[in-house]
Amino acid sequence: MFVVFGASGNVGDATAVRLRQAGRAVRAVVRREKQGDYLAALGCEIVLADLTDRASVAKAIEGADAVQILCPVPRTDPHPADTMRRMIDTAADALRANPPPRILALSDYGAELEHGTGITLLFHHIEAQLKPVMSHLTFLRAAEHMHNWGRVIPAALAAGVLPSLHHPLDKLFPTVAAQDVGRLAADLLMDDDPDGEISPRIVSIEGPRRVSALDIAHTLSELSGRAVAAQALPHEAWTPMLLRAGLSANHAQLIVDLYDTHNDGRIDVEEGVGERRFGTTPLAEVLAALLPHVETAAS
């Protein structure tokens, strides 16, 4: 049995689909029953669990041959770092008590850094907490997800300006499609690793090519038929913009710290460590899939 936490999310959905296509039994773990409807139609067993509740996590991993675990970012939480640490600690406790043969944790570029990385520091925490688990352990570190740009697309199309926290605008940075992360996660979970049990196994993934904020604005212009120009948002405007987007002050600070570190060149693949993989989905394909949802919401 392959247990996939966060199975209704962009990455988890792709993992579950890939595993089912390979004929594997999948237990899809979601927070709300309605989230499991599509996955149940694929033949997944649906289990409800809350990562802050150890008993529900323990029940979800019963009899598992492999577990994919993540720490979702609670977007509306006034204290997201505290909540994420609690979720990580709860999941790690349950996995230590009943370790499955295989664990894959979804992590991020920069997770090896111990301080100053904002929200990425929570992925450092999940790696640190899971390392003592006696199991074959894989950390799948992903670059920034392309679909995250969907949050600013409506405003960008309306104003013709794409605000960017990436400075300078022509700086190339790694990014990846969520579906490529999910598919690779499934493949790694099914990989028997015939060359030996290296644990933790660290695998990093990014897209087929690095992009800049200028590239994203240009691609959005071509896809939408509207002129969109990238704009480097002044540092003093970062927090007000994030607050207007509905983030709490604590969450906004985590994002500011992350992009400060990004712009210093410290968030990247950890050179010389583990394996590197490259997704095949281009930026244009991801943005093209997002546009109809944006236009429907605006109409």
- DSSP classification of residue 149: G
CA distance 199 to 136: 6
Q: Report helix, strand or coil for 103.
A: strand
- CATH code of 272's domain: 3.40.50.720
Is residue 211 domain-resident? no
Q: Report the C-alpha gap between 186 and 20 in whole angstroms.
A: 10
- Does residue 200 have a cis bond before it (omega within 30 degrees)? yes
Residue 297, class by beta-carbon neighbours within 10 Å (0-12 exposed, 13-18 middle, 19+ buried)? exposed
Q: What is the CA radius of gyration of the chain?
A: 19
**How far is Cα 110 from Cα 60, in angstroms, rounded to an integer?**
29
> Is 130 within 8 Å of 92 (Cβ atoms)?
yes
pTM for the model stands at 0.94
Does residue 159 fall inside a structural domain? no
291 in a domain, yes or no? Answer: no
Strands 229-232 and 161-164: parallel
**DSSP secondary structure letters along 202-223:** EEEEE-SS-B-HHHHHHHHHHH
Position 31 in a domain: yes
Q: Establish if 200 belongs to a structural domain.
A: yes
CB-based contacts of 285, cutoff 8 Å, min separation 6: 177
27 occurs within a structural domain: yes
Determine the structural domain holding residue 94 and report its residue range.
Answer: 2-146+176-206+266-280
Nearest CA to 207 out of 171, 189, 181 is that of 181
Q: What is the pLDDT of residue 294?
A: 63
N- to C-terminal Cα distance for the chain?
43
Dihedral in degrees, nearest 10, Cα atoms 117, 118, 122, 123:
-40
Q: Is residue 160 part of a domain?
A: no
Q: Please indicate, yes or no, if residue 238 is contained in any of the structural domains.
A: no
Distance (Å, rounded) from C-alpha 158 to C-alpha 149? 15
β-pair type (66-69, 144-145): unpaired
Q: Which residues of the chain have pLDDT under 50?
A: 194, 297-299
| pLDDT score at 194 | 47
Inter-residue contact 276 to 269 (CB < 8 Å): yes
pLDDT at 264: 94
Q: How far, in Å, CA of 192 to CA of 188, rounded?
A: 8
Helix (H) or strand (E) run with residue 294 in it = helix 283-298
Nearest to 13 by CA among 25, 4, 23, 22: 4
Three-state SS for 179? helix
Count how many domains the chain has.
1
Q: Residue 204 burial (CB < 10 Å; 0-12/13-18/19+)?
A: buried
* pLDDT number for residue 298: 47
